[in-house]
Amino acid sequence: MALALIPRAYESLLRPLLFTLPPEKAQKVADRALKMWPLWKAAAQVGGFTSPRIETRVGGLALKNPVGLAAGYDKNCELLPGLAALGFGYVTCGTVTLEPRPGNPGTRLLRDESRHALINALGFPGLGLDAAAERISADRPLVGNTPVVVSVSGADIEDIATCHRTMEPLADAIEVNISSPNTANLRVFHYPDVLGELLDELNESRTRPLFVKLPPFPSHEDDPKRHDLALSLADVCASKHVDALTVANTQPVQDERLGVGMGGLSGMPIFGQMLRMVHEVREIVGDNTSINASGGIFNAWDAWQALLAGTDSVQVMTGFVYRGPGIPRDISVGLDRMAALQGLDSVRSVGRWASAGPAANA
């Protein structure tokens, strides 16, 4: 089946079947399909989409399109060939931690189908650094020219630095996750001085682009202290020459159905908040730091609004679960058409086009 037909087929036929299963079991079924990567590669050759208009750069990486897969889907970096064949501009795997982790106990992933959302309390389950590194080393030749970003995290600076040193030679960029709502010890990096120490440590030896995934933050009106603290983290990242900021992680929520009583909300309900955060972070970091918008991206119009807010790329994960393997192509085609309608040669111009105002673009 050509990739152009997959979104409708997935949403009308396959998703209803998958959603009869518990979320984590449904992902295991989907993962088995993704491991049949030669089929996806063949489909891409028939129905893939490229256009110079949607080529872009993020944090020093050249991308064929601005649609990335967010961290959290391919936790152990074992699905890269299949994911790359779907047409993502880049694929983020992980989050990888130094040692294997079972994750949180009990129910830890819920669907909210009425809102096209997920609530997760996974807690970084994974096989650990060595297993992920071995898998990437084996599969990297099968990925082609799709950039691979590896998300890493840890309880302290040394854990993260060790993950960074091991993964950097295997990846095109490293994304440091300081923001999981389900992992309490990461909050130490929400203090600007501690984050600065971490970045200084990584900068001593790094040779490839470095991304940082920021925590979500409220508006200034709702909580001035938390708002200003979060933006100070973005400012620290820019001053330490971080190449890109991912804005942002899931929104913390309480839910008694989860084994630990709370988790992170993702999907359509956080889209508006994501746009606000992207706009505010862009005002802080200026034009020298790339931004990856993560939160509620489901279609090309969502991605276009994120570009208008100031992002350089969008990351999908919940949208991937709900819309299926055709989502990178679907968004790419839509962005290309919208840019053409506005007379733009590149999606990189969308933010500047918006800033110029209606009169300048008439």
What are the residue numbers of the active site? 180
Distance CA 67, CA 323 (A): 14
Distance CA 175, CA 95 (A): 9
Token digits for 340?
Answer: 């053409």
- Give the HSE-up count for residue 16: Cα atoms under 13 Å, Cβ half-sphere: 5
Alpha helical stretches, state H, 271-349 = 271-285, 300-309, 318-323, 327-341
Quick one: which of 265, 269, 353 has its CA closest to 304?
353
Quick one: which of 285, 291, 325 has its CA closest to 309?
291
Beta carbons of 77 and 94 less than 8 angstroms apart: yes
Scanning the structure block, which residue is given the tokens 């208008």? Answer: 308
Quick one: which of 90, 63, 209, 77 has its CA closest to 137?
77
Token digits for 273?
Answer: 């908040």
